[in-house]
Structure 1
Amino acid sequence: MRPLILSLLLLSPLPGVAAECGSIVASVCERPLDDPLPARKVLKVKPTVTPYLVGDRFPVEDHSFVMDPARYGLAPSDGTWRYYALSGVVYRVLNGSGEVLEVIRSRRTSHLR
Protein backbone atom coordinates (compact mmCIF):
# COMPACT_ATOMS: atom_id res chain seq x y z
CA MET A 1 0.00 0.00 0.00
CA ARG A 2 2.90 2.38 0.59
CA PRO A 3 3.99 2.49 -3.10
CA LEU A 4 0.45 3.54 -4.00
CA ILE A 5 0.53 6.45 -1.53
CA LEU A 6 3.94 7.56 -2.83
CA SER A 7 2.74 7.52 -6.45
CA LEU A 8 -0.38 9.51 -5.51
CA LEU A 9 1.79 12.11 -3.84
CA LEU A 10 3.97 12.43 -6.94
CA LEU A 11 0.95 12.79 -9.25
CA SER A 12 -0.90 15.29 -7.07
CA PRO A 13 -0.78 18.96 -8.07
CA LEU A 14 2.14 20.96 -6.71
CA PRO A 15 1.54 24.12 -4.72
CA GLY A 16 2.29 27.52 -6.25
CA VAL A 17 2.98 28.64 -9.80
CA ALA A 18 4.88 25.52 -10.80
CA ALA A 19 1.80 23.36 -10.37
CA GLU A 20 -0.15 25.38 -12.94
CA CYS A 21 2.04 24.34 -15.84
CA GLY A 22 2.89 20.87 -14.55
CA SER A 23 6.56 21.49 -13.81
CA ILE A 24 8.36 21.25 -10.51
CA VAL A 25 10.59 24.17 -11.57
CA ALA A 26 8.89 27.57 -11.25
CA SER A 27 11.11 29.28 -13.88
CA VAL A 28 9.76 26.92 -16.54
CA CYS A 29 6.26 28.21 -15.90
CA GLU A 30 7.18 31.91 -16.25
CA ARG A 31 6.80 31.79 -20.05
CA PRO A 32 3.49 30.66 -21.57
CA LEU A 33 3.74 27.39 -23.46
CA ASP A 34 2.55 29.00 -26.71
CA ASP A 35 5.25 31.73 -26.49
CA PRO A 36 8.06 30.86 -28.91
CA LEU A 37 11.62 30.72 -27.67
CA PRO A 38 13.86 33.63 -28.65
CA ALA A 39 15.78 33.15 -31.89
CA ARG A 40 19.40 32.08 -31.75
CA LYS A 41 21.97 34.69 -32.64
CA VAL A 42 24.35 33.57 -35.35
CA LEU A 43 27.63 35.32 -35.98
CA LYS A 44 28.48 35.58 -39.66
CA VAL A 45 32.13 36.11 -40.45
CA LYS A 46 33.13 37.42 -43.83
CA PRO A 47 36.01 35.50 -45.38
CA THR A 48 39.20 37.48 -45.47
CA VAL A 49 40.20 38.46 -48.95
CA THR A 50 43.42 40.27 -49.65
CA PRO A 51 42.76 43.30 -51.83
CA TYR A 52 46.02 42.78 -53.70
CA LEU A 53 47.43 39.56 -55.10
CA VAL A 54 50.87 38.63 -56.39
CA GLY A 55 51.47 40.52 -59.64
CA ASP A 56 49.04 43.37 -58.83
CA ARG A 57 50.24 46.92 -58.50
CA PHE A 58 50.26 48.10 -54.89
CA PRO A 59 49.56 51.85 -54.41
CA VAL A 60 52.87 52.68 -52.72
CA GLU A 61 52.17 56.41 -52.96
CA ASP A 62 49.17 56.06 -50.62
CA HIS A 63 50.77 53.90 -47.90
CA SER A 64 53.86 53.96 -45.71
CA PHE A 65 56.30 51.09 -45.81
CA VAL A 66 57.30 49.07 -42.73
CA MET A 67 60.33 50.81 -41.27
CA ASP A 68 61.64 48.01 -39.02
CA PRO A 69 60.75 44.60 -40.50
CA ALA A 70 62.91 42.70 -37.97
CA ARG A 71 60.71 44.02 -35.17
CA TYR A 72 57.79 42.11 -36.68
CA GLY A 73 59.73 38.94 -37.47
CA LEU A 74 60.17 39.76 -41.16
CA ALA A 75 63.36 39.26 -43.15
CA PRO A 76 65.34 42.44 -43.89
CA SER A 77 64.94 44.04 -47.31
CA ASP A 78 67.75 43.75 -49.85
CA GLY A 79 66.94 47.21 -51.22
CA THR A 80 65.07 46.11 -54.35
CA TRP A 81 61.77 45.67 -52.50
CA ARG A 82 59.99 46.89 -49.34
CA TYR A 83 57.25 45.69 -47.00
CA TYR A 84 53.90 47.50 -46.90
CA ALA A 85 51.06 46.74 -44.50
CA LEU A 86 47.37 47.20 -45.18
CA SER A 87 44.45 45.86 -43.09
CA GLY A 88 46.56 43.30 -41.25
CA VAL A 89 48.19 41.91 -44.39
CA VAL A 90 51.84 42.55 -45.20
CA TYR A 91 52.91 42.81 -48.83
CA ARG A 92 56.42 42.51 -50.20
CA VAL A 93 56.48 45.07 -53.01
CA LEU A 94 59.04 45.72 -55.73
CA ASN A 95 60.53 49.25 -55.64
CA GLY A 96 59.82 51.37 -58.69
CA SER A 97 56.98 49.40 -60.26
CA GLY A 98 54.96 48.68 -57.09
CA GLU A 99 54.39 45.06 -58.16
CA VAL A 100 53.33 42.75 -55.31
CA LEU A 101 55.97 40.02 -54.99
CA GLU A 102 54.50 38.20 -51.99
CA VAL A 103 51.41 38.38 -49.77
CA ILE A 104 52.28 37.74 -46.13
CA ARG A 105 49.64 37.23 -43.46
CA SER A 106 50.84 37.44 -39.91
CA ARG A 107 49.13 37.88 -36.55
CA ARG A 108 52.23 39.68 -35.33
CA THR A 109 51.76 42.34 -37.99
CA SER A 110 47.95 42.55 -37.91
CA HIS A 111 48.02 45.81 -35.95
CA LEU A 112 49.86 47.57 -38.78
CA ARG A 113 47.62 49.68 -40.99
Structure 2
Amino acid sequence: PLAGQVPKTCRPPQGYATCRSSVLLKWLPPASSLADFPILYYRISWRPGGSQVLAFRAQIEVGVGDCVKYVEATDAKGNIRMVAQPEREFTIAGLVSDVPYEFRV
Protein backbone atom coordinates (compact mmCIF):
# COMPACT_ATOMS: atom_id res chain seq x y z
CA PRO A 1 0.00 0.00 0.00
CA LEU A 2 1.00 3.59 -0.46
CA ALA A 3 2.02 5.73 2.49
CA GLY A 4 -0.98 6.59 4.64
CA GLN A 5 -3.08 3.86 3.06
CA VAL A 6 -4.33 1.04 5.28
CA PRO A 7 -5.37 -2.16 3.52
CA LYS A 8 -8.81 -3.55 4.27
CA THR A 9 -8.82 -6.51 6.61
CA CYS A 10 -10.16 -9.99 5.99
CA ARG A 11 -12.52 -11.77 8.30
CA PRO A 12 -10.80 -14.26 10.62
CA PRO A 13 -9.84 -17.40 8.70
CA GLN A 14 -11.31 -20.83 9.34
CA GLY A 15 -8.79 -23.59 10.01
CA TYR A 16 -9.04 -27.25 9.04
CA ALA A 17 -6.42 -29.73 10.26
CA THR A 18 -4.89 -31.63 7.34
CA CYS A 19 -2.47 -33.67 9.46
CA ARG A 20 -0.86 -33.41 12.91
CA SER A 21 1.43 -30.54 11.92
CA SER A 22 -0.44 -28.53 9.28
CA VAL A 23 -3.69 -26.64 8.82
CA LEU A 24 -5.65 -25.52 5.77
CA LEU A 25 -6.81 -21.92 6.25
CA LYS A 26 -9.79 -20.54 4.31
CA TRP A 27 -10.98 -16.94 4.24
CA LEU A 28 -12.93 -14.48 2.13
CA PRO A 29 -11.04 -11.53 0.67
CA PRO A 30 -12.15 -8.09 1.89
CA ALA A 31 -14.86 -6.33 -0.08
CA SER A 32 -13.36 -3.99 -2.66
CA SER A 33 -14.38 -1.49 -5.31
CA LEU A 34 -12.76 -0.21 -8.48
CA ALA A 35 -11.28 2.65 -6.45
CA ASP A 36 -9.30 0.23 -4.25
CA PHE A 37 -5.81 -0.90 -5.13
CA PRO A 38 -5.61 -4.60 -6.03
CA ILE A 39 -4.50 -7.10 -3.40
CA LEU A 40 -1.09 -8.44 -4.39
CA TYR A 41 -0.45 -10.75 -1.43
CA TYR A 42 -1.86 -11.84 1.90
CA ARG A 43 0.12 -11.79 5.13
CA ILE A 44 -0.80 -14.81 7.24
CA SER A 45 0.29 -14.66 10.90
CA TRP A 46 -0.05 -17.18 13.70
CA ARG A 47 0.72 -17.71 17.37
CA PRO A 48 -0.16 -20.26 20.04
CA GLY A 49 -3.91 -19.85 20.61
CA GLY A 50 -5.25 -17.87 23.53
CA SER A 51 -1.93 -16.21 24.32
CA GLN A 52 -2.29 -12.58 25.38
CA VAL A 53 1.47 -12.34 25.95
CA LEU A 54 2.90 -13.72 22.72
CA ALA A 55 2.63 -11.55 19.64
CA PHE A 56 1.94 -12.78 16.12
CA ARG A 57 5.63 -13.38 15.34
CA ALA A 58 5.40 -16.20 12.83
CA GLN A 59 4.15 -14.99 9.46
CA ILE A 60 4.35 -15.61 5.77
CA GLU A 61 3.45 -13.47 2.77
CA VAL A 62 1.58 -15.40 0.10
CA GLY A 63 0.87 -14.15 -3.41
CA VAL A 64 -2.78 -13.92 -4.39
CA GLY A 65 -2.29 -16.54 -7.11
CA ASP A 66 -1.12 -19.06 -4.51
CA CYS A 67 -4.38 -18.68 -2.54
CA VAL A 68 -6.92 -19.13 -5.33
CA LYS A 69 -8.59 -22.51 -5.85
CA TYR A 70 -10.18 -23.28 -9.21
CA VAL A 71 -13.03 -25.71 -9.79
CA GLU A 72 -14.90 -26.95 -12.85
CA ALA A 73 -18.22 -25.27 -13.59
CA THR A 74 -20.74 -25.96 -16.33
CA ASP A 75 -22.52 -22.99 -17.91
CA ALA A 76 -26.08 -22.92 -19.30
CA LYS A 77 -24.87 -24.19 -22.71
CA GLY A 78 -23.11 -27.19 -21.16
CA ASN A 79 -19.59 -25.79 -21.57
CA ILE A 80 -17.17 -26.76 -18.83
CA ARG A 81 -14.73 -24.13 -17.65
CA MET A 82 -12.53 -23.45 -14.66
CA VAL A 83 -13.70 -20.73 -12.28
CA ALA A 84 -12.11 -19.28 -9.15
CA GLN A 85 -13.75 -20.03 -5.82
CA PRO A 86 -14.69 -16.92 -3.80
CA GLU A 87 -12.79 -18.23 -0.76
CA ARG A 88 -9.03 -18.04 -0.59
CA GLU A 89 -7.02 -20.85 0.98
CA PHE A 90 -3.49 -21.74 2.00
CA THR A 91 -1.88 -24.57 3.98
CA ILE A 92 0.46 -23.74 6.85
CA ALA A 93 2.88 -26.59 7.63
CA GLY A 94 5.47 -27.13 10.35
CA LEU A 95 3.17 -26.55 13.32
CA VAL A 96 3.58 -28.38 16.63
CA SER A 97 0.95 -31.06 17.14
CA ASP A 98 -1.44 -30.82 20.11
CA VAL A 99 -0.89 -27.04 20.38
CA PRO A 100 -3.84 -24.77 19.54
CA TYR A 101 -3.01 -21.85 17.25
CA GLU A 102 -4.60 -18.51 16.46
CA PHE A 103 -4.37 -17.25 12.86
CA ARG A 104 -5.03 -13.94 11.13
CA VAL A 105 -4.87 -12.81 7.52
Q: Shared fold (TM-score greater than 0.5)?
A: no
Higher strand share: 2
Higher helix share: 1
Band of TM-score, shorter chain = under 0.3
Q: Provide TM-score, normalisation by structure 1.
A: 0.25
Q: Provide TM-score, normalisation by structure 2.
A: 0.27
- Rg larger in structure: 1
Query: Highest relative contact order (Cα 8 Å, sep 6+), 1 or 2?
Result: 2
